[in-house]
Structure 1
Amino acid sequence: MGDISEIEVIAPNFKRRLSGVTSTIVQLIPKQIEFGCRIVTLGPGLPENLPKLGWSRLPGLWMRPRRHRVRVWHARRNNEMLTGWLMKAVLRMPLKLLFTSAAQRKHSHYTRWLIRHMDAVIATSAGSGAFLQVPHTVIQHGVDLKLFHPPETADDRMAATGLPGRYLVGCFGRVRHQKGTDLFVKAMIELLPQYPDWTAIVCGRVTAEHRAFGEELVKSVAAAGLSDRIRFLGEVDDIRPWYRRATLYVAPSRNEGFGLTPLEAMASRTAVVATTAGAYAEMIVPGETGAIVPPDDGGALTKAIAAYLADPDDALRQGENAVLHVRSNFAVEKEAMAIGEIYQTLLGPRLIESR
């Protein structure tokens, strides 16, 4: 956006590597723009197609926007809240501060102090809202149904993978203890010898600090003689086709913020087994679109997965239900509209009509 006077909302992204927060921004902003929101991003790690505000243009924020007396600074991390507070309270820029909270844990004193200085707060789930000590609005994340959709071409089918078996069960995300990747692998080692029609994949990056964890998982699979049926694909270029190829998706996280992957899987016509971490329990209908188990309970996770491996037809049925459920309740457009209402409240009435 060339004219800074037209900018009304700034969505900072102060993390270079891809994360759940970054993924949310990437999916959400194009929809917000479609709905007429005059929004830009600030920071690294975002696609070139998103409108950006360069750091050198920050002094321009002292100037009020053309249509309102203030702008909205929409933070999603502590450092983004702090930057917004400094610009508003210290530099006296005309800003209203909005924070979206996804964490389901007790906040530190520092985080609580920052949150108290926000003008409005959004919780991404009832679970995350329960840890807030300020008034807030619950707005659940949505998924872009144009990007995540049921199989359409031959490349979206299990047969296109070249992997053995008829059905695919997947676990996607960073490979680490927090994500419960080990619980998934242990379940697969136990179950796959009983269900020869199924193959398992793990997709996700292994960072240096978790390399030993990842290597132990690979060794355990090799020791079980299942290296051909439990594959570690690493960080794939495009995860979306893998959702469509899978008949079952497993989200075994021990703890999570919100967690978009079950929604992405369900939108792709894939049933989901997930723990109660993050907002998973608020997005899955047990017995209809998937199953929910306690976090860090390998026995319960294995039992839930086994039911689907034993009855692929039921997994396919629940995948069909999942698409309808996500379309009705978790479209990203619904999220964008709800956030837009918060923006309008913070911006206040227009000073002049749009030209």
Structure 2
Amino acid sequence: MQLRDIEVIAPNFKRRLSGVTSTVVQLVPLQAKSLGIATLGPGLPADLPKLRWRQLPGLWRRPRHRPFRIWHARRNTEMLAGIVLRDVLRMPLRLVFTSAAQRRHTAWTRFLIRRMDAVIATSARSGAFLKVPHTVNLHGIDLDRFRPAAPGERSAATAGGEHMVGCSGRIRHQKGTDLFVRAMIALLPHHPCWTAVLTGRTTPEHAGFEAGLRAEIERAGLSERIRFLGEVDDVAAWFRRFDLYVAPPRNEGFGLTPLEAMASGAPVVASDAGAFAELIVEGVTGRVVPVDDVAALTAAIEPYLADDDLRQRAAEAALAHARATFPLQREAEGIRAVYERVWAEGAG
């Protein structure tokens, strides 16, 4: 892509994989089908359209078909860089920020947000913490990647048990990994056809946390039925193997995994963190329970382990809900509408 054809820049200033990075990786290829968009920064797949650091001076020239470019930030560092480019270096840019945080922003973050030309909130809950006008645009999901298993795919599962309950995310206290493990320790002895699987990376600072959980599992005699797989190559393949998904974090920005699970054909039991209450239809596609309440989590999970018909009805409803409400295309269209508004207002 020629620099003059780049209309939108999606910076990604974090090398390590995160939920924000995953959003950029999923959205940009779809946006690029109808928009001149390029990423900037490390840790992104080689096939994404990219702006190189050495090309930044070229941003003083306006794009071919727009009055200015849009810089779409998703982190504080990216907002700050955009402000420097627009206000200090006087490049023809307008700044858009997407906020997923569900907490009171720091004074520094509020300062940065006030200098944005448009703000997107990924949920109504995150929008409630913003003090500026904003547009709520829920995340979507890649329905080609996250889908139910085709005939024969489930037979490739490497964990035992007729049925599988999954939990995916980094192994740490904030993610509620301990809540999931303790719920499984309470439930699995009464449901011998079920196995629990955890996928996700354990960073060195949380190795002791994981070791403590493994010790609890071993004392319960469930080491063969509650398994830590670590960071897997293709998490979507594991979602297709899950008959039930549990998302128990104590706090979360948005949280895509319930959508990924529902799109894969699994009902979801989740804590009331992130946007989960806006994603799950209570009692239909799954359950939402209070944060940090292992008793409530355990009680909500058990009916899905015990009742195949209930679980199947919820799985069908979850799949239909994900497909109807959360396609990635809908998210991309919502973002594009914000871009077009910024261009129209700026041109005027």
Interval of TM-score (by shorter of Structure 1 and Structure 2): over 0.9
Which residue in the other structure is 1:117 paired with? 115
- The answer to whether the Cα contact below 8 Å between 1:99 and 1:118 also exists between their aligned partners in 2 is yes
Q: Which structure exhibits the higher relative contact order, with contacts defined as CA atoms closer than 8 Å and separated by 6 or more residues?
A: 1
Among 311, 325, 345, the alignment partner of 2:341 is: 345
**What is the deviation of 1:153?**
3.6
Which residue in the other structure is 2:51 paired with? 53
Which residue in the other structure is 1:226 paired with? 222
**What is the deviation of 1:288?**
1.0
Which residue in the other structure is 1:85 paired with? 83
Matched to 2:215, the amino acid is K
Q: Percent identity?
A: 61
Q: RMSD of aligned C-alpha atoms?
A: 1.2
Q: Is structure 2 residue 275 aligned with structure 1 residue 276?
A: no
DSSP 3-state at the match of 1:245? coil
Matched to 2:152, the amino acid is A
Distance of 2:218 and 2:200 partners within structure 1: 19
Deviations along 1:224-251, one digit per CA (max 9) or x if unpaired, are: 1100000110000000111111100000
Distance of 1:349 and 1:4 partners within structure 2: 23
Matched to 2:339, the amino acid is Y
Matched to 2:184, the amino acid is M
Q: Is structure 2 residue 203 aligned with structure 1 residue 204?
A: no
User: How has the CA–CA distance of structure 1 residues 350 and 79 changed in structure 2, closer, same or farther, with 3 Å as cutoff?
Assistant: closer
**What is the deviation of 1:104?**
0.2
Distance of 1:169 and 1:125 partners within structure 2: 27
User: How has the CA–CA distance of structure 1 residues 127 and 349 changed in structure 2, closer, same or farther, with 3 Å as cutoff?
Assistant: closer
What are the within-5 Å matches in structure 2 for residues 1-355 of structure 1? Answer: 1=1, 3-34=2-33, 36-155=34-153, 157=154, 159-348=155-344
**What is the deviation of 1:114?**
0.1
**What is the deviation of 1:6?**
0.6
**What is the deviation of 1:69?**
1.6
User: How has the CA–CA distance of structure 1 residues 229 and 109 changed in structure 2, closer, same or farther, with 3 Å as cutoff?
Assistant: same
DSSP 3-state at the match of 2:43? coil
Give me the TM-score of the superposition, normalised by structure 1.
0.96
**What is the deviation of 1:194?**
0.4
Give me the TM-score of the superposition, normalised by structure 2.
0.98
Distance of 1:330 and 1:19 partners within structure 2: 20
**What is the deviation of 1:349?**
8.5
Distance of 2:331 and 2:158 partners within structure 1: 37
DSSP 3-state at the match of 2:174? coil
Give the number of equivalent residue pairs: 347
DSSP 3-state at the match of 1:16? coil
Q: Structure 1 stretch 188-197 or stretch 159-168: which is displaced more?
A: 159-168
Deviations along 1:66-107, one digit per CA (max 9) or x if unpaired, are: 111210000000000000001101000000000000000000
**What is the deviation of 1:164?**
2.5
- The answer to whether the Cα contact below 8 Å between 1:68 and 1:350 also exists between their aligned partners in 2 is no
Matched to 1:338, the amino acid is G
